[in-house]
Structure 1
Amino acid sequence: MRDVLDAVADGELSPAAAEARLAGYVTTGAGRFDAARESRRGAPEGILATGKTPAEVAVLATAALESTGRALVTRVSDTDVDAVVEAVAADVDAAVECNHDERARTLLAQTADHDPPELDATVGVVTGGTADGAVAGEATAVLDAIGATVERVDDVGVAHLGRVLDHLERLRAADVLIVAAGREGALPTVVAGLVDTPVIGVPVSSGYGHGGDGEAALAGMLQSCTVLSVVNVDAGFIAGTQAGLIARAVSDARSGGE
C-alpha cells in the first residue's frame, strides 16, 4: 500500500489508478468502474451508454482510461462520443486513440502506452444479413478488446444455403463462432450442424411482422435441434465476451498455460 501512496505523492500514479489497485474499482460521480474485471474475469468491463448522460459516460470512460489504459463504451450516440473525446483531451494525462464504430455504436479508447492483449485464437462472427451487422459489430468490438482474431463472414442467411456452404472451410477453421440472425433465427442452427466448433447464437431484432422484434429468432434458437448456446436479443456484447472467454481458454491451452 505504501508504494501506491508514494507513487500518488510523486505524481507517478493518478488517484483513480491508485484506488483501482487497492480496491479493484474506481469511484466516480457517475458510479463505480470495475477496473479489476479483466484480471478477475478475463474480459474488460464495458460501459453501457444507454440510460446515462453524455457527461456520465465521459466520466466513466475517463476513469477506465486512467485505471486500465482503455475504455470500451457500447450503445453510444454521437453526443456520447463527443463528450468522451472532449473529456479525454482535458482530463487524461496521456495520448489517447479513439476508435468509433458508428454502425455498431461502440467506442474503444486506448492510451498510447496501453499494451493490448493478443490471443492465439480465432472467433468467427457470422451474420445472416446486412441488417444484423450492428449487433455483429458490437461483438467484434468486444473481441478486439479481449485480443482475439476476428474472422467476419457476412450475409450468409438461410434463404440461399449455398452462401453458407461457400464459407464452410472458414467456419470450420474458427475456434468459436458467433452467429447473428434475425427473422426466424435459423442460421445458427444450420451452422452448428455443419461444424465441430462451439456456436453462440445471437437473435437480432431485424425482422418485421409477428415476432419481428427478435422474439421469433430467440424462440427458434432456443428450440434448435443442433447444440448451440443462445444469448438475449441483440446482445452482441454478451456474445462477444462469452466467445472471448472461450478464445482465451483455447489460447492458454495452445501456449501450454503460460
Structure 2
Amino acid sequence: MPKRIGQIVSGLPSNQTSANWVSGILNKFKSGELTISEAVEKLSVLPYEDIGHAKLDHHRSFRTGFPEVIFGQGKTTKQLISITERLAARSDKVLITRSNENAYRALKTRLPDAVYNSDAKAIIINRSKKIKPQPGIMLITGGTADIPIAEEAAITAELMGNKVEKIFDVGVAGIHRLFDHLEHIRKARVLVVAAGMDGVLPAVVGGLVTCPVIAVPTSVGYGANFQGIAPLLTMLNSCAPGVAVVNIDGGFNAGYLAGLINKCSTSHSL
C-alpha cells in the first residue's frame, strides 16, 4: 500500500527520538504487548517521513550518530522550510549547508532558534544539551579565500561535538608562516587542510605530522586551476602518506570525517 504524503513510515511520533522509538518497541515486546512478528514488522522498515518532495531519514542519527544534513542549494525556500521544520521536530540538531541569507530570513520566522553562518553559508539549529567539546581537530587554509570552505568543515565538526582550532593563510608561497605554528599543529589528532591554486599545502603538512590529514581542494584560483581540478589532482597524487582527499569545495565532507576520526580516536579500541 503506498504511503501517504506526510506519513511517518513505521509510526515514529514527533516527540520521540529514534533510539527511544526502538527502545519502546523492544519494551512492548518484553512486556507482552507485542508479539515477535509484530515487533519485527515495526522494526523492518526504518522510520522515514514522506512529505512528497523529500523522504526524511529520521533514523539516521540512530544509525550513524548524526542526523540527516540538508543540502540547501537547489531547493526552493518553501521546500527548505518544510524539510527543516519536520527534521527539527524530531532532532535537536539541524544543519543546512550551501544556503543563503534570504532562505535564512524566511526560515527564521518559523524557527527562531536558527542561526546563520555567513562565512560557511550554513544554517544551524542546535538545541542539544551543552557538553564540553572534544579537542583534537585543527583546520588550516592555504589562503584567506579558502576560509568559506574551511568554515563549512568547522561548523560541521563543531555540531558533532568537537572543538576546532583554526590557522588561516599559511600557504606554501610563504611557508615560514606554517612553520611558526608547527609545534601547535603537531598536537592535533586530525587535520583538515583546505587549499586552492596549486593545492600543495596538504602534502607539505602531511610530511610534518603523525596524524591523519584530510585534504580539501578548493575552486580558488586562476584559469588553469580548472575550478579546483588542479589542486584535486595534486592532492590525490601526494607523495606524503596519511593524506586523504575529499571532493572539490567539500568542506562538509571533510568536517564530518574529521569529527568521526576524532571521536573514534578517543572512544574506540580494537
Match of 2:251 among 236, 249, 256: 236
The aligned amino acid for 2:153 is A
Matched, 1:101 2:117: yes
Match of 1:70 among 93, 97, 100: 93
Q: Which aligned pairs between 1:79-118 and structure 2 lie closer than 5 A? A: 79-89=102-112, 97-111=113-127, 114-115=128-129, 118=132
Could you tell me whether the CA contact under 8 Å between 2:93 and 2:126 is conserved in 1? Answer: yes
**Looking at CA atoms only, which structure, 1 or 2, has the larger radius of gyration?**
2
Could you tell me whether the CA contact under 8 Å between 1:204 and 1:214 is conserved in 2? Answer: yes
Distance 2:178 2:15 in 1: 47
Could you tell me whether the CA contact under 8 Å between 1:231 and 1:238 is conserved in 2? Answer: yes
Which piece of structure 1 moves more, 228-237 or 119-128? 119-128
C-alpha spacing 1:134/1:220, structure 2 compared with 1 (3 Å): same
Could you tell me whether the CA contact under 8 Å between 2:17 and 2:91 is conserved in 1? Answer: no
Distance 1:243 1:206 in 2: 22
Distance 2:84 2:130 in 1: 17
Tell me the secondary structure at the aligned position of residue 100 of structure 1. strand
C-alpha spacing 1:76/1:99, structure 2 compared with 1 (3 Å): same
Tell me how far 1:25 sits from its aligned partner.
2.7
Matched, 1:27 2:57: no
Identity %: 36
Match of 2:14 among 13, 16, 28: 16
What runs of 5+ residues in structure 2 fail to find an aligned partner?
Answer: 1-11, 23-45
Distance 2:15 2:50 in 1: 11
TM-score where L is the length of structure 1: 0.84
The aligned amino acid for 1:241 is Y
Tell me how far 1:65 sits from its aligned partner.
1.3
What runs of 5+ residues in structure 1 fail to find an aligned partner?
Answer: 1-13, 90-96
Task: State the partner residue of 1:43.
Answer: 66
Q: Whose relative contact order is higher, 1 or 2, with alpha carbons under 8 Å and at least 6 apart? A: 1
The aligned amino acid for 2:50 is T
The aligned amino acid for 1:242 is L
Could you tell me whether the CA contact under 8 Å between 2:217 and 2:248 is conserved in 1? Answer: yes
Match of 1:53 among 76, 97, 102: 76
Task: State the partner residue of 2:261.
Answer: 246
Match of 1:186 among 179, 188, 200: 200
Q: Which aligned pairs between 1:113-132 and structure 2 lie closer than 5 A? A: 114-115=128-129, 118-132=132-146
Q: Deviations over 1:220-250 (max 9, x none)?
A: 0001000200001000011111111101102
Matched, 1:202 2:216: yes
TM-score where L is the length of structure 2: 0.80
Tell me how far 1:30 sits from its aligned partner.
3.6
- Large movers: runs of 4+ above 6 Å: none
Distance 2:52 2:262 in 1: 35
Size of the alignment, in residue pairs?
A: 233
Distance 1:34 1:66 in 2: 13
Could you tell me whether the CA contact under 8 Å between 1:175 and 1:198 is conserved in 2? Answer: yes
User: What's the C-alpha RMSD, in Å, of the aligned pairs?
Assistant: 2.1
Could you tell me whether the CA contact under 8 Å between 1:30 and 1:59 is conserved in 2? Answer: no
Tell me the secondary structure at the aligned position of residue 247 of structure 1. helix
